[in-house]
Amino acid sequence: MSLTAGTITCRGYRIAAPPAGNFLASIQGDLRRHAFQPVRPDRSVRSIGWVNPRNILDTNLKAEHLVFADFLVLGLRVDKVTVNARMLKAHFNQAVQQVLRERSKKQLSREERTALLEKTRLELMARQTPSTSLYEMAWNLTTHRVYFTGTSDALNAEFSDLFQETFHSGLIPLYPFLRAEAKARKEGSMDALTQAQPSRFSPLASHPETKE
């Protein structure tokens, strides 16, 4: 979902410890260190990392090319490789029969079957095209607010960890109350906020016993 076109759904954060001065030059190495790397099935079936939001294949990231007006904008690419269980079973059975013929054996040991299953799985995964998802992050370099287009809790946890590792500062979620608190502090109305009571917007809310 692009941050530069149309309506978006995103989560908001603020920087826990905003960097001082012009920090963009100092993050170059960290950006490249945490840039997206293709999936390696022998290590993991999933890969996540930064890319140029305008070109999902561009991982040669340069901070000065990722700043638009007051925003640092990055793409977060997530790739995952999966193997169809039925196809894996079929290819595994075929491989077992081939090994039995080659070795003139009637059956394989448990260890041999386990090793052959893993070998078959890796061979099949190497032929697969990964499924790819692209999300975007926009960091307002003036207000130090961060917006991320991923909405799931698990993905946001990964995003927060990657942000911390890349920029050496944590993210604080902008929950509605925290946003109200920040506004109240700015306007000097904290007492009114802390004393606010819930409002009922439905005529049924004041009559809990009423049922449809």
Inter-axis angle of helices 110-127 and 85-103, to 10 degrees? 130
Q: What is the pLDDT of residue 73?
A: 96
**Claim to verify: residue 118 and residue 135 sit in the same structural domain:** no
Q: Does 206 reside within a domain?
A: no
Total domains in the fold of the chain: 2
For residues 171, 175, 180, 183, the Cα torsion angle rounded to the nearest 10 degrees is: 20
**Claim to verify: residue 16 and residue 118 sit in the same structural domain:** no
* Contact indicator for 50, 76 with CB cutoff of 8 Å: yes
Q: What is the pLDDT of residue 206?
A: 57
**Claim to verify: residue 60 and residue 154 sit in the same structural domain:** yes
Residue-wise pLDDT tens digits, 88-104: 899 999 999 999 998 88
**Claim to verify: residue 72 and residue 145 sit in the same structural domain:** yes
Domain containing 184 equals 11-81+131-192
Reported confidence tier of residue 204, pLDDT bands at 50, 70, 90: low
Sign for the pseudo-dihedral over CA of 166, 168, 174, 180: negative
- d(C-alpha 90, C-alpha 101), whole Å: 17
Q: Quick check: 175 pLDDT over 90?
A: no
Q: Does 29 reside within a domain?
A: yes
Residue-wise pLDDT tens digits, 3-48: 655 567 889 999 999 988 778 888 889 999 999 999 988 788 899 9
**Claim to verify: residue 55 and residue 141 sit in the same structural domain:** yes
**Claim to verify: residue 119 and residue 135 sit in the same structural domain:** no
**Claim to verify: residue 137 and residue 89 sit in the same structural domain:** no
Q: What is the pLDDT of residue 7?
A: 63
- d(C-alpha 135, C-alpha 10), whole Å: 10
Q: Does 4 reside within a domain?
A: no
Q: Quick check: 208 pLDDT over 60?
A: no
Q: Which long-range contacts (CB under 8 A, 24 or more apart) does 152-155 make?
A: 155/78
Q: Does 209 reside within a domain?
A: no
- d(C-alpha 24, C-alpha 4), whole Å: 21
* Contact indicator for 38, 173 with CB cutoff of 8 Å: no
Q: Does 180 reside within a domain?
A: yes
Q: Does 64 reside within a domain?
A: yes
Residue 21, sorted as left (phi over 0), alpha (psi -120 to 50) or beta, turns out to be left
Q: Does 40 reside within a domain?
A: yes
